Structure 1
């Protein structure tokens, strides 16, 4: 029994270190760059449609979402997560963040602001520790996730 538990713990540790190394050492850069190029094209498309629109608020909202999505791209969030309610497609490793604004406190025991400062999940704590968010970045991400939860 003790040997089985030890093997399990060692295997889990190797898996976590391997995954962390993969993302930190750039194993997913090709995927991230391809996703970023696609998002840039989408943002450009949204901007051009907004400039040809009739000036109503719907065009502005689509453009604002595309701009906010850039923060998720810049910080690498979309390499693991999507925000389907805002048409931000990303990785499938992490959960879709469309309802995260409403669900984080129930799942992790702290409000979104605090979670983004010091996450309670093992994976996110490693990600945030290696790439901390500024107050401005945190505010932009929270505003985006709040917008998604309201759709």
Structure 2
């Protein structure tokens, strides 16, 4: 209901796994933003009566709660000979992979702040300080709620 009373609010994300009072739990947004499959959040988009109903979305997601593996490297399959330069945090690396259609997985090397986007997943290996994740095809079907 907060979003309805804020004229600049066009979307929201509610973190369901953050204890109430230890939040913020609800984030108001002025646009849709990037798609990200996350089992700890529920998002919504406010549409006007003239906008089309939302469509079901299909994309590869890397859930940060269930699809990340600490101290694991995915050797080989690099999309580039150099690390992805603009991703200096694990979150940025994960999202770069989600946005890149050719990316199937990633490895982020924390000590070096290096992000390696991968075209496939071979045999994972132990690597202290690395975090890896692989895309999972996901479908998100919208629920329409009428406010009339």
Give TM-score, length-normalised by structure 2.
Answer: 0.26
**Structure showing the higher strand proportion among its residues:** 2
- Considering fraction of residues, name the structure with more helix: 1
**Higher RCO by CA contacts (8 Å cutoff, separation 6 or greater):** 2
